[in-house]
């Protein structure tokens, strides 16, 4: 890909990674991703904002082939997919300085071996003039690392937002309609930003104050409708949950699956939305996306050696780590002779601010009394959602 103009003297650069399917050895990427970098040429100086993941360094080098001088390389975020090619860029442009937040400086040295003397730190709100173009830096700590910042270019009304407002989506369409980008953006928020919802909410208010024509993140497509995108992120971060129950479950011999299916039917009859995820085959990214707006989480699990099934443990750990805005949680499942399934799951979700509803556990296959208990759980969930004015 060649660089592509966004405004006078402003270009998209970077690499589209069509084939990547896993990020951080953890996050599935069904639609690939991109590593967006941006070139800003002023009358006096030139800046490169972010770089690319190291395996894509040659792509960035080719895009820089006719750029004789770089004065600044802005590192919004130290992680390798943003800053991993900085050492190669510095080797090519010995006059260039790396611009970063004060918290980023030691991280660039430790993680990437950037020489300390080549890092220029900028304070929150500080600006650098390129001659006719101004780069104003806003610190956005914990969106999603402690050193993260964004850059505002007032002359072109562009916010270079780093991971803020990003998405993992490989596409040659730089400015798609929001309807094409929303699903990937919501998944990205759920997988990466949801644990930092309060910080996202706080920094959204700072971004709202800017005069914006374009949001240019470091992953995925750019946004020509800033107000629409900002409103979506604000809702995900601080809006009320939906009338939705998310049920991640695993079943070894069918008993737990029967219970889950009965509960799903009972909830549907009561006007409660449900998304169920069989953890043996589920895309955990889709589970994270569903958790963004779920009001209730019900984990379904059989008992393995007195404890929850390992896949249920993973789901509980994931929910606890992502810290969605769910308000209620419960457990359903079966056991052979006994165990500590409920206690273990409750301990694994201790960081969630949820009311734990009475679990439903049965010995072996569910009996009529167990099915009635599931009906009662559905009644309770529906009532709780009505009390919260979710339905």
Indicate the number of domains in the chain.
2
Residues 221 and 169: beta-carbon distance below 8 Å: yes
Answer yes or no: is 293 within a domain.
Answer: yes
Closest alpha carbon to 42 in 114, 127, 149: 127
Among 216, 238, 260, which residue terminates a domain? Answer: 238
Taking only the tens place, the pLDDT of each residue in 26-66 is 889 999 999 999 999 999 999 999 999 999 999 999 999 99
The 10s digit of each residue's pLDDT in 103-130 is 999 999 999 999 999 999 999 999 999 9
Residues 89 and 232 in one domain: yes
CATH number at residue 329: 3.40.50.360
Same-domain check for residues 230 and 249 = no
Are residues 175 and 257 located together in one domain of the fold?
no
Q: Which of 238, 254, 289 is the last residue of a domain?
A: 238
Looking only at the bridges linking them, the beta strands covering 127-129 and 119-121 are: unpaired
- Whether residue 119 is contained in a domain is answered as yes
Is residue 136 in some structural domain? yes
pLDDT, tens digit, for every residue of 280-335? 999 999 999 999 999 999 999 999 999 999 999 999 999 999 999 999 999 999 99
Are β-strands 46-49 and 72-74 bridged in parallel, bridged antiparallel, or unpaired?
parallel
- In a shared domain, residues 231 and 250: no
The pLDDT of 262-267, averaged and rounded, is 98
Q: Is the pTM of this model over 0.85?
A: yes
As given in the structure block, the two tokens for residue 246 are 């998310």
185 and 59 in a single domain? The answer is yes
Examine the domain organization and report whether 118 and 208 are in the same domain: yes
3 state SS of 386: helix
Name the residue range of residue 101's domain. 4-238
Instruction: From 267, 165, 260, select the one nearest 220 (Cα to Cα).
Output: 165
Are 233 and 164 in the same domain?
yes
C-alpha 219/C-alpha 77 separation (Å) is 12
Residues forming beta bridges with residue 332, ordered by sequence position = 300, 360
Residue 300 and residue 331: Cα distance in Å, rounded? 6
């Amino acid at each position: 890909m060649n660089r592509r103009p966004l405004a006078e003297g402003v270009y998209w650069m970077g690499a589209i990674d069509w084939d990547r399917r896993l990020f951080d050895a953890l996050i599935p990427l069904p639609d690939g991703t991109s590593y967006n970098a941006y070139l800003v040429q002023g009358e006096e100086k030139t800046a490169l904002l972010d770089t690319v993941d190291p395996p894509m360094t040659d792509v960035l080098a080719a895009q820089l082939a006719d750029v004789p001088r770089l004065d600044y390389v802005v590192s919004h975020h130290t992680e390798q997919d943003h800053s991993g090619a900085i050492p190669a860029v510095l080797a090519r442009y010995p006059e260039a300085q790396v611009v970063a937040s004060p918290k980023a400086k030691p991280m660039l040295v430790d993680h990437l071996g950037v020489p300390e003397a080549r890092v220029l730190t900028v304070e929150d709100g500080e600006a650098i003039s390129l001659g006719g173009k101004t780069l104003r830096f806003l610190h956005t700590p914990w969106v999603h690392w402690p050193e993260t910042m964004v850059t505002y270019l007032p002359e072109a009304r562009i916010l270079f937002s780093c991971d803020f407002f990003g998405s993992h989506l490989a596409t040659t369409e730089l400015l798609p309609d929001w309807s094409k980008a929303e699903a990937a953006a919501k998944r990205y928020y759920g997988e990466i930003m949801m644990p930092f919802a309060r910080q996202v909410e706080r920094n959204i208010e700072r971004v709202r104050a800017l005069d914006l024509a374009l949001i240019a993140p470091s992953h995925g497509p750019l946004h020509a409708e800033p107000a629409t995108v900002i409103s979506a992120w604000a809702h995900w971060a601080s809006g009320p949950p939906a009338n939705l129950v998310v049920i991640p479950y695993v079943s070894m011999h069918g008993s737990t699956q029967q219970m889950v299916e009965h509960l799903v039917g009972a909830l549907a009859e009561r006007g409660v939305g449900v998304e169920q995820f069989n953890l043996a085959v589920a895309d955990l990214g889709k589970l994270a996306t569903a958790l963004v707006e779920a009001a209730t989480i019900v984990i379904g699990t059989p008992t393995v050696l007195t404890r929850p099934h390992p896949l249920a443990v993973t789901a509980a750990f994931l929910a606890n780590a992502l810290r969605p805005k769910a308000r209620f949680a419960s457990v359903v499942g079966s056991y052979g002779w006994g165990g500590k399934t409920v206690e273990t799951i409750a301990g694994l979700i201790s960081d969630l601010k949820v009311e734990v509803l009475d679990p439903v556990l049965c010995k072996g296959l569910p009996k009529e009394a167990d099915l009635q208990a599931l009906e009662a759980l559905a009644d309770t969930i529906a009532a709780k959602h009505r009390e919260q004015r979710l339905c």
